[in-house]
Structure 1
Amino acid sequence: MQTPRRIQGSNAGRSRSHNKRLVLGHIQAKGEMGRAEIARASGLTTQAVSNIIADLEGDGMLVTRGHRSEGRGLPALQYAVNPVGGFALGIEVRPDAILSALLDLEGATRHTGRAALPDTHPATVADLVRQLRDEASRAVPDSEGRILGAGIVMPGPFGPTGLSGLSGTTTDLKGWRNMNARELFQEALDLPVEVENDANAAALAERISGAARGMESYAYLYFGAGLGLGIVSGGQLISGAFGNAGEIGHIPVPSPDGPAPLETLASRAALRTQLDIGADDLDIAALEALFARSDPALTGWMDQAAGALGHAALLIENILDPQTIILGGAMPEALLDGLIARIALPEASISNRPDNPHPRLIRGTCGRLTATMGAAALILNVAFTPQLASVA
């Protein structure tokens, strides 16, 4: 089995920011660590680790957690991430509403908010996002001056593409075609900003506080307006050249009527068509009730979606070689479990191997606000994961 590439520290002074993220990431993943253990894991000298720990303690991002024996000598002082040492703001922009979440450094949700969106003009959106930031700061006084940045989640794909004009592919945000969203939100919030689509953000939410915690390489199939794919490899989100990696919903898969786009068979839109109901009636509670009584139309859609998702899973496995594929998004947990039970994963896959401790397909655990939490997780991921490009 090939060993995944491990990011190492650099003892050069110019890599201080990289090394701080590296050390913080190791401690966050392990829970608590001593200096010698951090040095071994990061490839840094013990002196370099000591200097970085001093910086992180000064920033309020680390706390001590007593001593633990690590072999010969005196028990080593243990360090852990200080939950209130920093916060991440997550913003999800939908066509009709804006959702927010404030997470602490441990990924715990400290506050959530929602604002109805009367129109999608950029100035309107920026003003409401500002209000949600201020509301979160008032609700969590510890976050004052400690918000590390804001993750912004918006519908994709981004920019004009060959998918433009196809059903279900527009962003539904009028006035945003030529808008630089990052600059707009940075100016509105006076914070560092990361902008992603919903599937990518949801994938990171699962890594920070969900089913992918401790994983480095996995895929996330996300039920949003359509069906998206978030890809994490080596702890890094794969966004593509223009931020549109993972538009798997438009890939054709077999169907009884011939090849069809995946999301016409396996998505909330496809389910709405199958049930013949409006978008306003397709909420979580309604789906839970339909599933509980084994509604024939819902069961028929699940059987159809399971076949399509089985083909998609094989494609994902053989191209990306993930530790697992996570299924989640705006669906009831019981329904997702039922889908997973129906999906027949082909044996002829590189992921069908006895030495992988993870199931090939699992359900996400971040719940209904996965994309909103994922927006905040974009910021936490930056704090805990140094970029490979920054390694000398």
Structure 2
Amino acid sequence: MAGKGSNSMQLRYYNERVVLDAVRRSGEASKAEIARYAHLTPPAVAAIVDALVDGGYLVENGKRFGGKGQPSAMYRLANNGAFSIGLHVGRRALDAILTDFAGQTVAFETHDYDHPNPVGIRQLGDEAIARFQSALGASDRKRLVGIGISAPYFIGGWDAELGFPSEVQLEWRTFDLRSYFADRYDLPVMIENDASAAAIAELVYGVGRRHSDFLHLSLSTFVGGGLVLDGTLQTGPNGNTAAYGPFPVTHSTLNSVPKPPGKFDVLLHRASIFTLVNHLRSNGFQITRVRDLDPMPSAAQVLVSEWQDDCADALAQALIGSISVVDVEAVVVDGLLPRPLLVDTVERVKHCFVEMMPPGLIPPAITAGELGARASALGASLMPLYAMFGPDTGVLMKKGIDKKPLMIGSEYNRRG
């Protein structure tokens, strides 16, 4: 009997998360709509929704009129149901974000630096977390569920391309980013590759609301990517999935990119922000950050267009190779580029893709992302929320991260 009760409780926890996911995806939903989405009986959904309202995770959001019978009460996620902090440790800046349960940004800040020194990263991260905790106040601080961190693989590497001091790479070899913050804060701390984190954000708040299978390409300091299949981010046993930087492509046509030995170059030398900045500087246009290109200076237009054409050609090669192996509905291109420049670059990618595409392939939709430079930080902040509240079958099977229950009277609800 005890075992049966335990299984029943696990099923209840899982169903709660399915209900929350239904509301998150819909924005707002009635109990009947939630029941259809979750494939649960109306009485079961009614009991779960009422419990989640009592626990502070859902709120009634008015009524819908116009149908048969009584008007339907609508429910949405409660903004103060939970909070999460995301830190994106980039090669040129640290972004920090505080998000609420509904995915709204409560606070955001960015801090530029010349290179990612671990001592500076610790200080910037600690200061941002302290400000966010102070902004929440005592009551909401109890509903802070964790810290998510996104960072590039080999963050201290590539010093030749980026001009980092040689000691930076050595410092990162002995600094464990996740352990540092986990030891300092009484909160779960999760870490993921920055391009994968950006794909998570796009999955939840961008194109993922329309497509469950897509490739996400992030044009950051170095190009990176993420693969989402059946609504789940795929990383692979070694983290290599959609690691687009080393993808082999033909040589660049830019006069600022040296030709490597051999028949091929790699995508990061053609479709990365550092290549764009280097091309501008090598041809006499001084630039500090890519955001300096919004609005576009007239003196930079020709050089930027040259990079866009070269970047689009390389991305099209990589995408054709990818969809020959993994079939997806859409390809999303996003990153650090100012929005007008990103949209124009994506149009050039589409043109190159059509010109190169061999017969026998059905092309995916290629579109610009919706989240921009904040995507990696936002994705990082989503990881603790989904670890605790996401409809992961690991809850049902007792696998993966241990998730606290949402049931009324649980330890977590007593904290709130």
Give the counterpart letter for 1:370 in structure 2. Answer: A
* Counterpart AA for 1:156: Y
Determine the structure 1 residue equivalent to 2:289: 283
The amino acid across from 1:87 in the alignment is F
Unaligned runs of 5+ residues in structure 2 are: 1-6, 254-258, 398-416
Deviations 1:265-301 (A, max 9, x none): 1111222332235999341343335565563222222
The answer (yes or no) to whether the contact 2:250–2:314 under 8 Å persists in 1 is yes
Tell me the equivalent position of 2:391.
386
For 1:279 and 1:185, the matched residues in 2 are separated by: 40
Shift of 1:129: 2.3
Q: Distance in 1 between matches of 2:43 and 2:169?
A: 51
Deviations 1:7-50 (A, max 9, x none): xxxx9321333222211011111122222322221122333323
Give the counterpart of 2:89 among 72, 90, 93: 93
Q: Find the residue that maps to 1:250 and give its secondary structure.
A: coil
Structure 1 counterpart of 2:353, one-letter code: L
Distance 1:208 1:245 in 2: 19
Pick the aligned partner of 1:53 from 49, 52, 68: 49
Q: Which residue in the other structure is 1:154 paired with?
A: 151
Are residue 66 (structure 1) and residue 62 (structure 2) matched?
Answer: yes
Output one character per residue of 1:108-150: Cα deviation in whole Å (capped at 9) or x when no partner: 2111134577996767644542321120122344742222221
Structure 1 residues 265 and 123: alpha-carbon distance in aligned structure 2, compared to 1, 3 A threshold: closer
Q: Look up the equivalent residue of 2:382 and give its one-letter code.
A: A
Deviation at 1:262, TM superposition (A): 0.9
1:352 maps to which of 359, 362, 367: 362
Matched, 1:32 2:37: no
Structure 2 CA distance, aligned partners of 1:157 and 1:254?
24
Contact 1:29/1:214 (8 A) holds in 2: no
Q: Does 1:299 align with 2:314?
A: no
Q: Does 1:104 align with 2:114?
A: no
Taking structure 1 as the reference length, the TM-score comes to 0.82
Task: Tell me if structure 2 keeps the 8 A contact 1:157–1:247.
Answer: no
Residues 286 and 183 of structure 1: CA distance in aligned 2, closer, same or farther (over 3 Å): closer
Give the partner amino acid of 1:41: Y
* C-alpha RMSD of matched pairs (Å): 3.5
- 1:158 touches 1:244 (CA, 8 Å); kept in 2? no
Instruction: Report which of the two has the higher share of helix.
Output: 2
Alignment equivalent of 1:78, drawn from 67, 74, 77: 74
TM norm structure 2? 0.78
Structure 1 gap ranges (5+): 1-10, 354-358
**In the alignment, which residue of structure 1 is the partner of 2:400?**
none
Equivalent pair of 2:155/2:172 in contact (CA under 8 Å)? no
State the number of aligned residues.
375
| Offset of residue 60 of structure 1 | 0.9
Change (3 A) 1:175 1:49: farther
Identical pairs, percent = 28
Using a 3 Å threshold, how does the CA distance of structure 1 residues 40 and 249 change in structure 2: closer, same or farther? same
Pair 1:269 & 2:279 matched? no
